[in-house]
Amino acid sequence: MSNFLLELLVEEIPSRLQAESIQELEKLFVNEFDRLKIPYRNVNSFISPRRMVFSSDLELKSTAYQEEKKGPQINAPIEVIEKFLLAHHISRNDCVEKTIDKKTFLFAKIDHNAQETSHLLVDIIKKAITNIPWKKSMRWGSYSMYFVRPIRNILAIFNEKTINFCLDEIGVKSSNYTVGHRFLSPEKIYIKNLGDYKYKIKKSFVIIDREERRNIIENEIKSIEKTYNLQIDTPLDLMEEVVGLSEYPIVLMGKIPDNFMKLPEEVIITPMKVHQRYFPVRNNEGKLAPYFVFVTNNKAYDNGKVIIEGNERVLNARLSDALFFFETDLKKPLEHHLESLKKIEFYESLGSLYERTQRMIDFCIFAYNELKKSNSWIKPEMKDLLVRTATLAKCDLSTNIVSEFTELQGIMGACYAQIQKESPLVCNAIKEQYKQGEEFSTAFSALFSLIDKIEIITSLFAIGKEPTGSKDPFALRRAAISIIKIIKKYNIKIDLITFIKQALSKLPINNYSKETEQRIINFIKERLKVLLKNENIDPDIINSLLQNYDNILLIYQKAEFLNSVLQTEIGQRLIICYKRAKNIIGHNKDIMINQLLISEKEEISLYNEINKLDSIIKNIELSTDDIKIKFEKELNALLSIEKFISIFFEKILVNTENLEIKQNRLNLLTKIVHLFHKVLPIN
């Protein structure tokens, strides 16, 4: 086999698009090799900010093969058949007939001769280059072709010879050379094959392999950690990005002046990571240290002294801005920002953030009044705390720091709230309001986030912004999942429908459709279904529970308990009893039992048990408000009757000749089914 090598020299490819696009390029080549029957091995592909490289070993010729191509039916009009023959340059005799589903078709037998790989490659390359699916692409010069950024050179070699072609769409002729690092080795390098390329490109200060660049960065970071006894935060996404921003990575460390270290940690870290792509540094206790680590693309002859100074100056400027903003923000209390929220839109017809804040304050009071009825952990002081949180929650959106770094929303609010000595509960709830999932620092935070999320989902559904297909721009699915998880984890007894109705009634719009409430409930239930499925709960149980109830907590608790009970032996037997009873009674609805018609021993004891069960269930109903305890008691009572039903089925014939007795027995079984239905939502 002979080596094929292609390098596209491209103006800087956005880092976030690199990994995926090179895989696509590789796939495009491999698919074409397969399609054209060119034997290949040693497939390699690499990507750097300026280069997309593909290489593999190929046979000099493709393999000859015969292709069968389906044509028209044999009785098709003659013109159609002739067109088919003409298209494949064959005569009628070259075709065979095959019958599929009683219809007979012509099949052309097309011989593909072995072809020179070097000839095939031109089209393969052009096709691969033009077919990479970019998320965002552009045109340049006077050309019509779209690519992620302009392609400036195409190195194309097979069997140590240039594959000569011109990609007219961008006016670039193929060549047998490339260039090295933009600054360290900009001269032309002539290439023979992959081995030659790898050797020479490295000598020209280009690390072509993404993973190798990552290793270099990680190793240099480790050695800095060791030398200075520090720890460097390397979040995965930042590392991914940095690996794609440099062809010859060199890691350097700069210092942060001490006066900035009094800023909240997030305020220091955010401009470092988001704007500058710097790694934060910590001391061994995990406290932020006055350093930053960054990756450059140049091996400067002063060992980076000037580069470090420059980067320090940039970060200083950003941090002095931040410090200025921070101090300005502190000049007025957080609630003074409420006024500015009038100018910030919440969403479309939903009014300003100020209006939404007012709605949330009302909604929190409503929620408090509702929830305290059935949730004993909700204490009277929580009312004021909820209102305070709702009042302050969005105020940070108009502070200087958050205007500058939007990702600090919530975090800054909490920070400012803490400085003005708000209750720690309020501070944490402000901080965690946008949090998904169920892990909150306090139940109060979870509660506030729950109320906030119900309001958001309701508002956006009301203006028709519910998620469709893969589109969920407001992450409402995650919010719904979080609602369910919070309800479950904190055992919150809540009637969602009332909450949704209340939230809807306060919106500044009234043209939402009538089914909005139900659509929201169904949307949340859909998420619940997925969550329950993930917990391996029987699909039948899930469906029947979802059909019968709107209460998330109840559904969750019943599902889990039921699932555990029904997996036991007695549980299984109970289900069998139920199914038998259900089968026998058919459409019978009568549950009036005539005591005088009961004579058999097994019948009598079952009858007694049923009466006992009936009153037990009634008592349970009154005994406690805790649905979970109630359900467990009911189910246990039901389980206790199982052996009497089993014996009844064993000994007693329901279908006796005496129609009166038969009906009475049917009624007895119907009564059992009814009791089942009271406890278990099964059909």
Give me 645's structure tokens.
């039903």
Q: By CB under 8 A, is residue 321 in contact with other proteins?
A: yes
- As to burial, measured by CB atoms within 10 angstroms (0-12 exposed, 13-18 middle, 19+ buried), residue 118 is middle
The CB-of-140 to other proteins minimum distance in angstroms stands at 5
Q: How many residues bind other proteins (CB under 8 A)?
A: 48
Interacting stretch for other proteins, rule CB under 8 A, among 147-155, 382-390, 451-459, 552-560?
147-155
Q: By CB under 8 A, is residue 175 in contact with other proteins?
A: no
The nearer residue to other proteins, 19 or 138, going by C-beta atoms, is 138
Chain residues 222-251 in contact with other proteins, contact rule CB under 8 A: 245-246
The nearer residue to other proteins, 313 or 379, going by C-beta atoms, is 313
Interacting stretch for other proteins, rule CB under 8 A, among 145-153, 425-433, 483-491, 553-561?
145-153
Distance, CA of 231 to CA of 240 (rounded, Å): 19
Q: How open is the CA angle 24-29-31, to the nearest 5 degrees?
A: 90
Binding mask 277-296 for other proteins (x = CB under 8 A): -----------------x-x
End-to-end CA distance of the chain: 67
Give me 250's structure tokens.
């060199």
Q: By CB under 8 A, is residue 139 in contact with other proteins?
A: yes
Nearest Cα residue to 466 out of 523, 386, 400, 525: 523
Count of beta carbons in the 10 Å neighbourhood of residue 618? 11
Q: Which residue has the tokens 């999320």?
A: 453
Q: Dihedral, CA atoms, 395, 401, 405, 409, nearest 10 degrees?
A: -30
Distance, CA of 572 to CA of 577 (rounded, Å): 9
**Of the candidate residues 19, 306, 570, 604, the single one contacting other proteins (CB under 8 A):** 306
> How distant, in Å, are the alpha carbons of 53, 176, 177, 572 from that of 188?
17, 10, 6, 78
The nearer residue to other proteins, 122 or 344, going by C-beta atoms, is 344
**Of the candidate residues 203, 313, 501, 533, the single one contacting other proteins (CB under 8 A):** 313
**Of the candidate residues 100, 138, 166, 653, the single one contacting other proteins (CB under 8 A):** 138
Q: By CB under 8 A, is residue 116 in contact with other proteins?
A: no
The CB-of-245 to other proteins minimum distance in angstroms stands at 6
Q: By CB under 8 A, is residue 492 in contact with other proteins?
A: no
* Residues 248 and 299: beta-carbon distance below 8 Å: yes
Q: By CB under 8 A, is residue 345 in contact with other proteins?
A: yes
**Of the candidate residues 142, 470, 595, 599, the single one contacting other proteins (CB under 8 A):** 142
The nearer residue to other proteins, 294 or 490, going by C-beta atoms, is 294
**Of the candidate residues 35, 136, 331, 421, the single one contacting other proteins (CB under 8 A):** 136
Distance, CA of 288 to CA of 292 (rounded, Å): 10
Distance, CA of 390 to CA of 433 (rounded, Å): 10
**Of the candidate residues 42, 219, 320, 547, the single one contacting other proteins (CB under 8 A):** 320
> How distant, in Å, are the alpha carbons of 54, 136, 144, 161, 173 from that of 168?
21, 22, 10, 21, 8
Sequence-distant (≥ 6) Cβ neighbours of residue 244 within 8 angstroms? 13, 14, 15, 16, 18, 19, 47, 48, 49, 210
> How distant, in Å, are the alpha carbons of 99, 320, 363, 399, 443 from that of 408?
68, 17, 25, 11, 23
Q: By CB under 8 A, is residue 403 in contact with other proteins?
A: no
Of the CA atoms within 13 Å of residue 369, those in its CB half-sphere come to 8
The nearer residue to other proteins, 7 or 32, going by C-beta atoms, is 7
The nearer residue to other proteins, 219 or 320, going by C-beta atoms, is 320
The CB-of-292 to other proteins minimum distance in angstroms stands at 10
The nearer residue to other proteins, 195 or 235, going by C-beta atoms, is 235
Q: Which residues pair with 69 in a beta bridge?
A: 108
The CB-of-409 to other proteins minimum distance in angstroms stands at 18
Q: By CB under 8 A, is residue 83 in contact with other proteins?
A: no
The CB-of-23 to other proteins minimum distance in angstroms stands at 19
Q: By CB under 8 A, is residue 171 in contact with other proteins?
A: yes
Q: By CB under 8 A, is residue 174 in contact with other proteins?
A: no
The CB-of-250 to other proteins minimum distance in angstroms stands at 9
> How distant, in Å, are the alpha carbons of 19, 21, 31, 43 from that of 24?
9, 5, 10, 13
Give me 354's structure tokens.
């100020």
The nearer residue to other proteins, 149 or 202, going by C-beta atoms, is 149
Q: By CB under 8 A, is residue 307 in contact with other proteins?
A: yes
Q: By CB under 8 A, is residue 173 in contact with other proteins?
A: no
Q: By CB under 8 A, is residue 344 in contact with other proteins?
A: yes
The CB-of-312 to other proteins minimum distance in angstroms stands at 9
Q: Work out whether the CA dihedral 84, 90, 92, 98 comes out positive or negative.
A: negative
The nearer residue to other proteins, 276 or 640, going by C-beta atoms, is 276
**Of the candidate residues 61, 88, 149, 662, the single one contacting other proteins (CB under 8 A):** 149
Interacting stretch for other proteins, rule CB under 8 A, among 344-352, 380-388, 429-437, 503-511?
344-352
Sequence length of the chain is: 683
Q: Work out whether the CA dihedral 483, 486, 492, 493 comes out positive or negative.
A: positive
The CB-of-353 to other proteins minimum distance in angstroms stands at 9
Strand bridging mode 166-167 / 161-162: unpaired
Q: Which residue has the tokens 């219809």?
A: 103
By three-state DSSP, how is residue 173 classified? strand
Residue type, 46: F
Q: How open is the CA angle 371-377-381, to the nearest 5 degrees?
A: 80
> How distant, in Å, are the alpha carbons of 221, 230, 283 from that of 226?
9, 7, 12
The CB-of-271 to other proteins minimum distance in angstroms stands at 11
The nearer residue to other proteins, 14 or 72, going by C-beta atoms, is 14
Count of beta carbons in the 10 Å neighbourhood of residue 529? 17
The nearer residue to other proteins, 143 or 549, going by C-beta atoms, is 143
Binding mask 349-378 for other proteins (x = CB under 8 A): ---x--------------------------
The nearer residue to other proteins, 1 or 314, going by C-beta atoms, is 314
Of the CA atoms within 13 Å of residue 524, those in its CB half-sphere come to 30
Interacting stretch for other proteins, rule CB under 8 A, among 221-229, 337-345, 359-367, 408-416?
337-345
Distance, CA of 386 to CA of 388 (rounded, Å): 5
Helix H or strand E segment including 565:
helix 552-566
Give me 108's structure tokens.
């052309």
The nearer residue to other proteins, 15 or 548, going by C-beta atoms, is 15
The CB-of-141 to other proteins minimum distance in angstroms stands at 5
**Of the candidate residues 70, 188, 203, 343, the single one contacting other proteins (CB under 8 A):** 343
Helix H or strand E segment including 418:
helix 411-419
Residues at the interface with other proteins (CB under 8 A): 11-12, 14-16, 49, 136-142, 144, 149-150, 152, 171, 182-184, 245-246, 276, 294, 296-298, 300-302, 306-307, 309-311, 313-317, 320-321, 324, 343-345, 352
